[in-house]
Amino acid sequence: MPEQASRRTIIVLVMLVLATGAAVAAAVAADPSQPTSTTTSQSTPTTTAVELATTTVVVPTAATGPGPNTFVTRPAPGPVQVLVVRMACVGYAGDGWKVTWRITNQGRPRTGAVVAHIDVGGPALPLVPSLTLPAGGDSGEQTQVVVGGGESIMVTWTLPDRPVQSFPLSLPSCPTDPADLADARKATTTT
């Protein structure tokens, strides 16, 4: 019996603590401006200004659709940016493309070669053997002719620590040389 009495005492004490906590919570919810303590004291309320740290996250939106305007006017994460600004046919199909590109460097000074890749994984076609940009430097827009066949192009600044590439962009379709069309009309097939 003494064991049951001590259990009952513990249960009653726990219920009393819970009931008191519930009563205090109900009082605060009913009128939060009233003090919850039963002790009365005269104190002057103090206000402390707290400066909150703010973080701004800029999420660039990407242009959609095919063509050279896709992904070229939006920033990408990182201190080095390689952008293909525009592409145009040199002449007819097979003559190549004029590729205009720009590189910006917001990090430490860097030096590396600039190459183009026609199609992802294609061979590296040299554009500039060694480009050095200071911190905060910009290559300006540079236009060079890239000859080859494929569907897309990327420009890469091959830095020693890691290469930085532009997005692969679809190459424009170049017109067929009229002389080639005339020769094709003359060709005959026999079976």
Q: What is the pLDDT of residues 5-21, one digit of tens each?
A: 667 777 766 665 676 66
In a domain, 89, yes or no: yes
**The residue type at 54:** T
Q: What are phi and psi of 8, to 5 degrees?
A: -60, -40
The whole domain housing 1 covers: 1-30
In a domain, 37, yes or no: no
- What 8-state DSSP symbol labels residue 94? T
pTM (two decimals):
0.54
Which among 127, 137, 181 has a CA at the least distance from the CA of 158? 127
85 shares its domain with 22: no
Contact partners, residue 20, CB within 8 Å, separation at least 6: none
Q: Is 96 left (phi over 0), alpha (psi -120 to 50) or beta?
A: left
In a domain, 26, yes or no: yes
Residue 37 reports pLDDT greater than 70? no
